[in-house]
């Protein structure tokens, strides 16, 4: 794999975050802290506020009340977008089907004309090599498996040399083997670069396999935050119910 540029990860602090849509509260006073360089997983049932919280952390939503601090500096949503290098790996991968894999990965650099075409090509090759997909550069997204599409999405995120990568259900609709590979990619990035990783997921195998710390959210409130072992031992009926739900049976 290619050597990625090392840069300090950033820390995020959320204080008293509230958000409602149509008068319906979605976030109810969320407090949490994400340390620089850690893998922080946000878990919770459907409708618990995970994705809305993620959108606030990347600057796609403005809170009704509350504060967000990055590296100790209070920031608004526009400032998050303009001042910090953040990348989002979408649940679906969000690849453009009309572009090749290589064109998808290099799209950010191409659209903003940040590099020459030769430099962009070299970066694309490096980032695809980082996720083990160098040979897929000329393929179309329709030729890829679900797991490969997610890995291409990670490669695309790496192009901007992000300080924070946010993953929205990265193992959704993947088979167990592909899910393990995605988890290994997230862990590998932690070892090679100082990126801060925030993962929204209900995949307990992924969460307990990669997380430095886990937050469990329900009805827009954080129930607990801790290491995987601490969360497993946390004596709260809502947390324990979530950890032992049979999702396959429910779905």
Confidence at residue 130, expressed as pLDDT on a 0 to 100 scale: 86
- Can you give the residue ranges of every domain in the chain? 93-161
Confidence at residue 225, expressed as pLDDT on a 0 to 100 scale: 95
**Tokens 């009805």 identify what position?**
219
Q: Where are the alpha helices (DSSP H) in the chain?
A: 50-57, 77-83, 101-105, 107-111, 117-130, 146-158, 176-192, 204-210, 228-233, 237-244, 247-250
- For the segment 73-77, the average pLDDT, to the nearest whole number, is 91
Task: Give phi and psi for 195, each to the nearest 5.
Answer: -75, 140
Confidence at residue 117, expressed as pLDDT on a 0 to 100 scale: 87
Query: CA 130, CA 3: separation in Å to the nearest integer?
Result: 8
CB burial class (10 A; 0-12, 13-18, 19+) of residue 251?
exposed
pLDDT tens digits along 213-223? 999 999 999 99
Query: CA 184, CA 182: separation in Å to the nearest integer?
Result: 5
Confidence at residue 246, expressed as pLDDT on a 0 to 100 scale: 54
- For the segment 34-47, the average pLDDT, to the nearest whole number, is 91
Q: In the predicted model, is pLDDT for residue 250 greater than 50?
A: no
Averaged pLDDT score across all residues of the chain: 87
- % of the chain at pLDDT higher than 70: 93
Query: CA 39, CA 15: separation in Å to the nearest integer?
Result: 20
**In the chain, how many H helices and how many E strands?**
11, 10
- For the segment 65-86, the average pLDDT, to the nearest whole number, is 90
User: At 245, is the pLDDT very low, low, confident or very high (cuts 50, 70, 90)?
Assistant: low
Give the residues across from 28 on adjacent strands. Answer: 18
Query: CA 33, CA 118: separation in Å to the nearest integer?
Result: 40
Confidence at residue 251, expressed as pLDDT on a 0 to 100 scale: 37
pLDDT tens digits along 89-115? 877 667 888 899 998 998 878 877 777
107 against 245, higher pLDDT = 107
C-alpha distances in angstroms, 138 versus 9, 124, 133, 142? 32, 11, 11, 12
Confidence at residue 1, expressed as pLDDT on a 0 to 100 scale: 41
pLDDT tens digits along 189-211? 888 877 899 999 988 899 999 99
Confidence at residue 95, expressed as pLDDT on a 0 to 100 scale: 84
Confidence at residue 5, expressed as pLDDT on a 0 to 100 scale: 46
């Amino acid at each position: 794999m290619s050597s990625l540029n090392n840069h300090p990860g950033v820390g995020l602090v959320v204080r008293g975050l509230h958000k409602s849509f149509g008068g319906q509260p979605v976030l109810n006073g969320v407090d949490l802290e994400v340390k620089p360089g850690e893998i922080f997983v946000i878990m919770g049932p459907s409708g618990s506020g995970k994705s809305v919280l993620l959108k606030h952390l990347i600057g796609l939503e403005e809170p009704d009340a509350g504060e967000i601090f990055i590296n100790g500096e209070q920031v608004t949503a526009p400032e998050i977008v303009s001042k910090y290098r953040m990348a989002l790996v979408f649940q679906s991968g969000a690849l453009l089907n009309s572009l090749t894999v290589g064109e998808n990965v290099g799209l950010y650099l191409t659209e903003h004309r940040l590099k020459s075409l030769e430099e962009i090509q070299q970066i694309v090759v490096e980032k695809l090599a980082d996720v083990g997909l160098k040979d897929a550069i000329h393929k179309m997204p329709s030729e890829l498996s679900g797991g490969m599409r997610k890995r291409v999405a990670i490669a695309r995120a790496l192009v901007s040399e992000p300080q924070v990568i946010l993953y929205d259900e990265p193992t959704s609709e993947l088979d167990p083997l592909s899910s393990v590979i995605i988890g290994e990619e997230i862990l590998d990035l932690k070892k090679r670069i100082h990126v801060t990783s925030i993962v929204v997921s209900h995949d307990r195998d992924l969460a307990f396999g990669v997380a430095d710390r886990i937050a469990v959210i329900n009805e827009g409130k954080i129930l607990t935050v801790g290491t995987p072992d601490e969360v497993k031992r946390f004596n709260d009926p809502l947390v324990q119910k979530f950890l032992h739900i049979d999702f396959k049976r429910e779905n």
